[in-house]
Structure 1
Amino acid sequence: MLDKNYIGHKLTGFSAEANVERLRFFAKAIGQQDPIYTDILVAQKAGYPTVPLPPTFLFCLEMSAPNPAEVRDLLGIDWGKVLHGGQSFVYHQMAFAGDRLSFQGQIIDIYDKKGGALDFVVIDTRVTNQDGALVAELRKTTVLRNI
C-alpha cells in the first residue's frame, strides 16, 4: 500500500510555452483537421488572437515537467505495475500559442481497492497563464497493481 502521508504533497511546479509548431504537430497526431488549431490567419479570422490550444493539449504540456516521473519516484511506484486510471479537465479560459503556462500539481488522494490489490493516486494540477489567470484544472488518476 502507498503511503497516505503524501496526500497534500505539492509537486514541483514548472512553466512551459505553448508554441505553434508543437500545436501543429499535436493537431496532426490526434487527427484534428480544423485549421484554427494549425493556421494563425484562420484562427485570427475566427476571432482568436492566434492559434488556440486543443482541449487535451494541456496534458501534453504537463509531460514537459522537469521530472514527469516525480510521483512514481516519490511513492516508489514500479512503472511496470502502473495503469492509467483516468483524467479530466475543467477549463476556465482559453489558452493560445505563445502563452507561458505554469503547472502546479498536488496529490489530493491516495486510496486502495480490492483489499489492497489496487492503489490509486489522484493528482490535481492548476494551470495558470503568464498573467496569473487560472486557465484550467487537470485531474489524473494513476492506478498501481499490487498483484
Structure 2
Amino acid sequence: MADYKGILEITRPPASADVERGRIRQFAQAIGAQDPVHHDVEAARAAGHPDLLAPPTFVFGLELEQSDVFDILAGFGIDISQVLHGEQKFRYFAPVYAGDQVTFTSSFVDAYSKAGGALDFFVRRTEVTRGEEKVAELESVTVVKNGSAT
C-alpha cells in the first residue's frame, strides 16, 4: 500500500441536508418504491408517519451530494480513474421524514491492501443524525486499482 495512513487522520466538518418531499418522491419513483407513504402525505399520515417517509437508501443519496471522498483521494495522489465502488452497508436506527434536517459526519476508519498491493481498500463510515438522534450509519468501501490490477 502506498503511504495513505494520513487518510485515517482526516477529520471533515459535519455536513447537513434538508429532507424535502419532492426529493423523496423523486427518489422513490427512481427506485420503484410504490408504497404511498413515500408519495402521498395523507397516506403517510394515515400510516402513522408525520410526513412522507424516506425510502431506506435515500440518506445515502443525500450523503453522496455532501461527500468530498474523491477530492480526498486525489489529494493523496490517487488517480480517480482507477477508483471503484467496492461495498456498501447500511444500519438504520430511526426513520427519516420530509421536513427533517439530517447531518452527516464521515471519516475513514480503515485502509488496507490485497492482491500483493495491486488493490488498496478504504473504508469510510458516516453517521447520520437528526438533531442528537442517530438515524443511520453508512459504510462504504472504495477500491483503488494500482498498476496493472484489473
Match of 1:118 in 2: 119
User: What secondary structure does 2:28 align onto?
Assistant: helix
Question: How many residues are matched?
Answer: 146
- What SS is found at the alignment partner of 2:78? coil
Q: CA deviation at 1:126?
A: 0.6
> Given residue 61 of structure 2, which amino acid in structure 1 is its aligned partner?
C
Structure 2 residue aligned with 1:78: 79
- What is aligned with 2:135? 135
Name the TM-score, length of structure 2 as normaliser. Answer: 0.90
Offset at residue 9 of structure 1 (A): 2.3
SS at match of 1:63: helix
Unaligned ranges ≥5, structure 1: none
Partner Cα separation in structure 1 for residue 69 and residue 31 of structure 2 = 21
Q: Percent identity?
A: 40
Counterparts of residues 1-147 of structure 1 (less than 5 Å): 1-65=2-66, 67=68, 69-129=70-130, 131-146=131-146, 147=148
Q: 1:69/1:12 Cα in 2 relative to 1: closer, same or farther (>3 Å)?
A: farther
How far residue 80 of structure 1 moved from its aligned partner, in angstroms, is 1.1
Residue deviations 1:80-109, cap 9 Å, x none?
111111111111111101100000001000
Cα separation, partners in 2 of 1:117 and 1:36, compared to 1, 3 Å: same
